[in-house]
Homo-oligomer: A and B are copies of this chain.
Amino acid sequence: MSAGLFAPRGTTEVVERGLEFQPKFDADGLIPAIVTDAASGEVLMFAWMDAQALALTLEQGVAHFHSRSRRKLWRKGEESGNLLRVSEARIDCDQDVLWLKATVEGAGVACHTGSRSCFYRTVPVGARPSPQIRLTRD
């Protein structure tokens, strides 16, 4: 799927230290993408891209993903109007994770539940975990 769109993987040295973009897609042809709010830095969401979604995202500056449940290309916000306008894209050391800084258009809501961010609940830290852990909602 990525044939022709992006460069093939080089050596570890080239992947980590080089300036060639050689994104790694996993066995399912996907790469994970973290999306943060370009203004606040808050993590808004996390989703997966195939090569086509990544190419469209970089070209248009609007986030596209691959829906694993629906098995299709997904232009985030195409129905709700809450498009993610990407102002910056970063790749990690081993080039297998993307970080996108974005602005949410429309209602400014990134999560399908209606929350601004998908991460609207905190997990307690500092106590022994159990099946009875309770989350705290913002």
Contacts and interface: CB of A to CB of B under 8 A. Distances in A.
A8 B97 CA distance: 28
Interface string A117-138: 0111111111111111111110
A46 B97 contact: yes
Interface residues of A, number: 61
Interface in A74-99: 86-93, 97-99
A40 interface: yes
Interface string A1-43: 0001111100000001111110000000000101010001111
Nearest to A17: B113
Contacts of A61: 125-126
Contacts of A92: 45-46, 118-119
A54 interface: yes
Of A57, A58, A93, chain B has the most CB atoms within 10 Å of the CB of: A93
Given A131-B4, A133-B7, A21 B113 contact: no
Given A20-B134, A58-B126, A97-B118, 18 more contacts: A5-B130, A7-B132, A20-B135, A21-B134, A32-B32, A41-B41, A41-B42, A43-B90, A46-B97, A54-B129, A58-B129, A86-B125, A89-B124, A90-B120, A91-B119, A91-B135, A93-B112, A93-B120
